[in-house]
């Protein structure tokens, strides 16, 4: 299969692309290599992908419809795996227009081209953030998600709506995967597992927003990748599916795990809670189990050990 993967130089996109290439698929990767975090990390990810002969890379912005169209016309992908986005809740509060532009308009560009070039299916990387401060736990796909509490979350919800729209109008086969707090090797340096490790390793104080009792359903990258690959292979008319771990961890517990692995005590600098940060993320994964055979296997302790091993080799 020939798959067009957006965001291929990023954390999740590079792992998904690598797994597809490893099993023999062709990957047309698109990424604009923006400087949201150190571009060298994205270039290092690309270097891994460029070892595969069936990988073609386009440094392109998903907001650029004209250039995307040329790529679709030339490459004629069988399927699209749309992973590129501006991530992060806090930066989206500072620059909501940018998030709107990339995450909504960029997604619409891809949906429209996927329709014109008759791709067989479209997999979209959505987020647990759409659940906002959902009172019911664990979060299930049937819960109402009309109350996002950050611009980032609102863009993901809007993009899901557009996905549904393209399914309804053009019978496009679409799966929206709601990822829950993904971590692991090549992880995003703006997320807690990376930041906490980095700070403790370098003997710098941890910036902890609030008292550390908020909980996150940290999900190991290899488990996420398995779920994405099955979603790529299966063709449903339209589905929204949670990919999480179903075991939320307190931020203070994550700090304790980091301390244990590094054998070093953390110094904590407590800052006020950020509006936009949800209380808890907690995935009901029964739908993923049923439709995708999804079964996360990595505990937070094992996953963080693997992450720290990678971190030490790559700082």
Ligand X SMILES: NC(=O)c1ccc[n+]([C@@H]2O[C@H](COP(=O)([O-])OP(=O)(O)OC[C@H]3O[C@@H](n4cnc5c(N)ncnc54)[C@H](O)[C@@H]3O)[C@@H](O)[C@H]2O)c1
Q: Give the residue numbers marked as catalytic.
A: 152
Whether the Cβ atoms of residue 201 and residue 240 lie closer than 8 Å to each other: no
Scanning 32-40, 67-75, 262-270, 294-302 for contacts with ligand X by CB under 6 A, the matching segment is 32-40
State which of positions 180-209 bind ligand X (CB under 6 A).
181-182, 188
Which residue in 25, 31, 223, 239 binds ligand X (CB under 6 A)?
31
Which residue in 3, 4, 5, 12 binds ligand X (CB under 6 A)?
12
Whether the Cβ atoms of residue 181 and residue 281 lie closer than 8 Å to each other: yes
Scanning 4-12, 67-75, 142-150, 195-203 for contacts with ligand X by CB under 6 A, the matching segment is 4-12
Considering the complex, what minimum distance in angstroms separates the CB of residue 262 from ligand X? 22
Per CB under 6 A, 85 contacts ligand X: yes
Per CB under 6 A, 7 contacts ligand X: yes
Give the Å distances, CA to CA, from 105 to 34, 61, 101, 153: 17, 11, 5, 15
Whether the Cβ atoms of residue 315 and residue 214 lie closer than 8 Å to each other: no
266 DSSP 8-state letter = P
Considering the complex, what minimum distance in angstroms separates the CB of residue 5 from ligand X? 10
Which residue in 79, 86, 167, 195 binds ligand X (CB under 6 A)?
86
Q: Residue 5's beta-bridge partner residues?
A: 29, 81
Considering the complex, what minimum distance in angstroms separates the CB of residue 100 from ligand X? 12
- Count of residues interacting with ligand X (CB under 6 A): 30
DSSP string, 84-138: -----HHHHHH-HHHHIIIIIIHHHHHHHHHHHTT-SEEEEEEEGGGGTT-SSSS
Per CB under 6 A, 125 contacts ligand X: yes
In the complex, which residue's CB is closest to ligand X? Answer: 10
């Amino acid at each position: 299969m020939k798959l067009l993967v957006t965001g291929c130089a990023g954390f999740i996109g590079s792992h998904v692309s690598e797994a597809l290439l490893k099993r023999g698929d062709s990957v047309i990767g698109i990424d604009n290599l923006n400087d949201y975090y150190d571009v060298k990390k994205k270039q290092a990810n690309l270097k891994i992908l460029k070892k595969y002969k069936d990988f073609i890379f386009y440094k392109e912005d998903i907001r650029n419809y004209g250039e995307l169209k040329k790529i679709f016309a030339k490459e004629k992908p069988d399927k699209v795996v749309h992973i590129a986005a501006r991530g992060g809740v806090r930066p989206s509060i500072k620059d909501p227009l940018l998030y709107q532009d990339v995450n909504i308009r960029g997604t619409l560009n891809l949906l429209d081209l996927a329709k014109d070039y008759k791709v067989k299916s479209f997999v979209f990387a959505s987020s647990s953030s759409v659940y906002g401060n959902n009172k019911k736990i664990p979060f299930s796909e049937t819960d109402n998600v009309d109350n996002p509490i950050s611009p980032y979350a609102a863009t993901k919800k809007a993009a899901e709506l557009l996905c549904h729209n393209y399914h309804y109008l053009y019978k496009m086969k679409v799966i929206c995967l709601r990822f829950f707090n993904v971590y692991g090797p090549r992880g995003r340096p703006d997320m807690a597992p990376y930041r906490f490790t980095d700070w403790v390793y370098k003997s710098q104080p941890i910036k902890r927003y609030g008292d550390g009792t908020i909980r996150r359903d940290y999900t190991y990258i290899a488990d996420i990748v398995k779920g994405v690959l099955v979603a790529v292979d299966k063709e449903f008319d339209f589905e929204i599916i949670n990919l999480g771990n179903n075991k939320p961890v307190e931020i203070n517990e994550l700090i304790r795990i980091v301390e244990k692995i590094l054998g070093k005590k953390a110094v904590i600098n407590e800052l006020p809670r950020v509006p936009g940060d949800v209380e808890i993320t907690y995935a009901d994964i029964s739908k993923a189990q049923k439709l995708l055979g999804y079964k996360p296997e990595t505990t937070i302790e094992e996953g963080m050990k693997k992450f720290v091993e990678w971190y030490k080799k790559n700082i």
